[in-house]
Amino acid sequence: MTTTEIRKKIAESSESDWFNSVEVTIEYPHIEFSLTLKGFSSIHKFVSQQLAGWEKLENIPSELNSSKQHFNTLKGRLDNFLNSRHLETKGNLENYWRTEKGQIQKNGNYFTYDSSQTEFLTDINNRIPDSTTGAYNYIVKTNTNLADRNNLIGSLLAYEFDLKDNSEITERRKKEKSSISKIKNDLRSQLSESETQLTGHLTKANQDYQKYVNLIDTFKSEKESLFNDWYDGTDENSGVKDKIAELENTYDSLLSLKKPAEYWNNRAKNLRTQGWISFAALIVFVVLVVWSLGELLWKVPEEIYTSFFADDKSAAIRWSIIYITFISFMAFCIKAITKVMFSSFHLARDSEERNTLTYFYLSLLNDSKVEKEDRQLIMQSLFSRADTGLLKDDSGPTMPNDFISKIINK
């Protein structure tokens, strides 16, 4: 298991405080190693680091294989303990932990992968492999057969490594070695404390997360319950469902009448604009007629007036017919433009009324119930044909022969 998985398991446990409070002291006196670790995560991390370090070393002597196997065994036991026991109660955890703690604190001839003795023995194994056993026995304080030359060489090399003589150089080396060991132990202690704090924060974060998830689930359940109670009781609450159905019908009617209402509104604007254009054309045409008549009256030739009193009245009759035709044509144009103008204003007002009637009909649907007969009457008013006023009592221009026929008929 990785350190991240260990933290996650501890965070899921109901006894996370216990996992963060367990403590072990690991001592290997033959290499002057002593370390106190607090927190299951810190212990597991230390064992994992030792195993990883041993696996990276190459050409280690066979005498150190027991150390590598020891940390491999410890890691397996810790993984198995957490996987199988993380949901146990505190009392059961205490009982099972005693065995694991004894294995971790077991005082055997074990080496850490980063100790100076491990490096020394590995170097001896690479240079003088036959002397490795003698050096190893010297470090772990085990009797060895010094009659064997290789064992003797190994013991002497270990002696030189451990203590050459009582010179100042040796004393300085011991002090530096002691200082370095102290720094390493302090660093491990700080790492152990940091690991415990990190695991504690993760546990608290996981608990807070679960707490908020439960609150959200509770809130959701309450709101769903309130909604279901309200919905189930709508049959008894003054026709709520009928009101919803009426609103849906009103919305459907709005969708069906929205386009016609927009059409009537736009048509009203266009017709009003057309009416004002016709009005402007009427003004221009009237001004043109008045100006034309003035020109005819003021600039007509003198012989036209005298021809009315002469014996030959053909010229007078000819000019009279031309003048009457011109006046009739002008009157017809003015009448046509007037009809277009008033028709445009009339249709614009009609479109505005249809647009207003549409929204009035929708408001009736929303506020009250409209009977089928009234609905048909309103729809007939909305979509009935509008009278333009253009063809009613329409007639052509009055020509001179009309006057003659009227006189003959009389």
Domain boundary among 199, 214, 229: 214
138 CB neighbour count, 10 Å cutoff: 21
Domain span at residue 279 reads 240-409
Q: State the chain's mean pLDDT as an integer.
A: 76
Q: ∠ at Cα 255 (252, 260), nearest 5°?
A: 130
Same domain, 201 and 245: no
For residues 17 and 39, give the distance between their C-alpha atoms in angstroms, rounded to a whole number.
9
Residue 403 in any domain: the answer is yes
Contact of 136 with 62, CB cutoff 8 Å:
no
pLDDT tens, residue by residue, 2-19 = 777 887 888 788 888 888
**Same domain, residue pair 122 and 267:** no
Question: Would 223 be classed as within a structural domain?
Answer: no
The whole-angstrom separation of Cα 123 and Cα 157 is 11
Where is the domain boundary, 214, 229, 251? Answer: 214
pLDDT of residue 166: 47
| pLDDT in the model for residue 111 | 93
**pLDDT exceeds cutoff 50 at 170:** no
Specify whether the CB–CB gap between 382 and 357 falls below 8 A. Answer: yes
Whether 140 maps to a domain, the answer reads: no
Lowest mean pLDDT among 319-323, 331-335, 359-363: 359-363
Each residue's pLDDT tens digit, 125-161: 999 999 999 999 998 888 888 888 888 888 888 888 8
pLDDT digits (tens, 9 = 90+) for 183-194: 666 666 666 666
Residue 373 resides in a domain: yes
Helices 65-85 and 90-104 pack at an angle, to 10 degrees, of: 180
- Residue 197, SS3 per DSSP: helix
pLDDT, tens only, 345-392: 888 888 888 777 777 766 666 555 656 666 666 666 666 666 665 555
Q: Answer yes or no: do 397 and 347 share one domain.
A: yes
Residue 136 lies in a domain: no
- Residue 257 per-residue DSSP state: H
Helix (H) or strand (E) holding 157: helix 149-162
Q: Which of 402, 395, 386, 399 lies closest to 354 in space, CA to CA?
A: 386
- Which spans in 300-313 are helix H? 302-307
Taking residues 14-30, report their average pLDDT.
88
Q: Collapsing DSSP states into helix, strand and coil, what is residue 27?
A: strand
**Contact predicate 104/25, CB 8 Å:** no
State the first-to-last Cα distance of the chain, in angstroms, to the nearest integer: 127
Return the closest-CA partner of residue 120 out of 147, 160, 165: 160
Task: Based on the fold, state whether residues 200 and 58 are members of the same structural domain.
Answer: yes
Phi, psi for 120 (deg, rounded to 5):
-65, -45
Q: Are residues 16 and 53 in the same domain?
A: yes
Is residue 331 located within the same domain as residue 205?
Answer: no
Same domain, 109 and 70: yes
Count of domains in the chain? Answer: 2
Closest among 126, 170, 72 to 118, alpha carbons compared: 126
Let me know if residue 137 belongs to a domain: no
What pLDDT does residue 398 have?
47
Domain assignment present for residue 228? The answer is no
Using the Cα atoms of residue 204, residue 208, residue 214 and residue 218 in order, give the sign of their dihedral: positive
How confident is the model at residue 397, as a pLDDT?
A: 47
Residues 252, 386, single domain; the answer is: yes
Question: Which neighbouring-strand residues pair with 37?
Answer: 24
Q: What b-and-e string marks burial along 179-195, b requiring 16 or more CB atoms within 10 Å of the CB?
A: eebeeeeeebeeebeeb
Q: Are residues 339 and 305 in the same domain?
A: yes
Residue 250 has pLDDT above 70, yes or no: no
The two tokens of residue 123 are 């170097």
Q: Tell me, yes or no, whether 10 and 115 share the same domain.
A: yes
Range 294-299 average pLDDT = 72
Higher confidence at residue 363 or residue 270?
Answer: 270
185 and 301: one domain? no
Q: What is the pLDDT of residues 82-131, one digit of tens each?
A: 888 888 888 888 898 999 999 999 888 899 998 888 999 999 999 999 99
- Give the pLDDT band (50/70/90) at residue 400: very low
DSSP-assigned letter for residue 24: E
Does residue 321 lie in a domain region?
Answer: yes
**How big is the chain by its Cα radius of gyration, in Å?**
57
Residue 61: predicted pLDDT: 92
Q: Do residues 273 and 181 both lie within one domain?
A: no
The pLDDT assigned to 71 comes to 93
